[in-house]
Amino acid sequence: MKNVSGELPEPQVKGNSPDSATRAPATQGLVICSITDRESEKSKYLSLAEIDAALAPLIANKVLEVNSDYSVEFSPACIRVSKRRSSSQKPIAPSVSIRKQVKDWSEKSRVKMLERFASLDYSPFNESTSLTALITLTYPGDWLSVAPSAQSAKRHLQMFRKRFERAFGRPFFGLWKMEFQRRGAPHFHLFAPIPIGVQFNDWLSNTWSEVVDHPNPSEKEKHRLAGTGVDLAKGLTAENAQLISFYFSKHSSAGNGPKEYQNKPPEEWQSQGTVGRYWGYWGLSIATRKIILDRGKALFIARTLRRWQRSKRRVVKTKVWRTDSRTGVVSSRYLHRRQRVYSASQAMRLIPNGVEFAETFARFLKD
């Protein structure tokens, strides 16, 4: 990436040890992939305190004291450039917002989930007495008798959380996402730390079957043996907030994708009204810090983020239909197009390390 002067920055080589990292040369441009001298932390999940430490030099030097409508929001794995509504624009009429009925999985909800999961403080996951894992909670074959509505399934999820807190004596914090199987049965994916030194798999199977409590003893026993799953590998590979967000959005594409059926609720639930929220989080706080800056710097950062996203060259195979205007013959072919994660006009991007980006941003403003 070129800087403002048109010159490429000098390449930096990072060694195997934290002490071998060197600071990138001071430039007038913003280099997202620059290497900083911040020593590697033992904890892999970032917190709001680390973002504040990266932005502290700017706040101390009063670099950011400007009167502007533009701002940049920093979080552990998300950067957003936004503009405040000016007084000349038509204000939004104050009214009591009525929550609409949720009957399907929308693209707006997916983007909102991506941004929120990337903006949470996952530092509680760094406890040495826990291991982060992906927990799966499914329903038995005759699932309608125990979950006839979305409210009943959400009640089961809340009951499971309360039983976890009573059994292990600590709050249950983590993420959850609701999906559906082809047969229509719902299931939940939970990303959370689990205790070490206990037979957690056995406790999980027994507790979830008791929470669902199928009236048929045979079905209840089958559900106890095959109704739960614990994947420690997912917890080890999801080493930052960006990877966590990507994992939960992997099979959650709105409107297309091979796993789109997992976002379609059963007709039995749709006929009753809303199916409620598809995702949520417990016990985690939002780690976002907003910085006010002038229009020129804000637009430059927004353009840099878009160019950085395009440089990743993430493409997907898409089937396109064509109609011949002369003959009316309909044909199809496959094209490789750039993957659309969110709207092109939206200046929000997910990044691997928000602290390193904040440090680079601070050097850019000081130059």
| Domain end among 252, 282, 312 | 282
Residues 6+ apart with CB under 8 A from 314: 338, 339, 341
Q: What is the mean pLDDT of residues 295-314?
A: 79
Percentage of the residues of the chain whose pLDDT score is greater than 70? 74
Per-residue burial over 248-261, b = 16 or more CB atoms within 10 Å of its CB, e = otherwise: bbebbbbeeeeeee
Contact 75, 118 (CB under 8 A): yes
pLDDT surpassing 50 at residue 9:
no
pLDDT band of residue 61 (cuts 50, 70, 90) is low
How high is the pLDDT of residue 37?
38
Report the candidate in 359, 311, 325, 261 with the shortest Cα–Cα distance to residue 24.
Answer: 359
CA distance 81 to 74: 9
Which of 3-12, 124-133, 138-147 is the least confident region? 3-12
Domain identity same for 149 and 206: yes
pLDDT band of residue 164 (cuts 50, 70, 90) is very high
CA distance 340 to 318: 12
Within a domain: 291: yes
Tell me: the pLDDT tens digits for 195-230? 887 889 999 999 999 999 999 999 999 999 999 999
Write down the mean pLDDT value for the chain: 76
Q: Rg of the Cα trace of the chain?
A: 24
Domain identity same for 276 and 129: yes
Residues 6+ apart with CB under 8 A from 299: 70, 81
| Domain end among 248, 264, 282 | 282
Domain identity same for 151 and 197: yes
Domain identity same for 164 and 137: yes
pLDDT surpassing 90 at residue 139:
yes
Domain identity same for 216 and 173: yes
The total domain count for the chain is: 2
The CATH number covering residue 132 comes to 3.30.70
Q: What is the mean pLDDT of residues 43-66?
A: 70
CA distance 362 to 367: 9
Domain identity same for 240 and 147: yes
Give the type of residue at 233.
A
Give the type of residue at 172.
F
Domain identity same for 174 and 233: yes
Tokens of 35: 């290497």
pLDDT surpassing 50 at residue 98:
yes
Q: Which residue has the tokens 């959370």?
A: 192
Give the type of residue at 266.
P
Domain identity same for 155 and 54: no
Within a domain: 3: no
How high is the pLDDT of residue 59?
64
Range of the domain at 324: 18-84+287-366
Q: What is the mean pLDDT of residues 255-265?
A: 70
| Domain end among 282, 315, 344 | 282
Within a domain: 9: no
CA distance 101 to 99: 7
How high is the pLDDT of residue 301?
82
How high is the pLDDT of residue 28?
38
Tell me: the pLDDT tens digits for 278-303? 999 999 999 888 888 888 888 888 88
How high is the pLDDT of residue 228?
94
Q: How many of the other CB atoms lie within 10 Å of CB of 2?
A: 11
Q: What is the mean pLDDT of residues 52-59?
A: 75
Domain identity same for 56 and 132: no
pLDDT surpassing 80 at residue 175:
yes
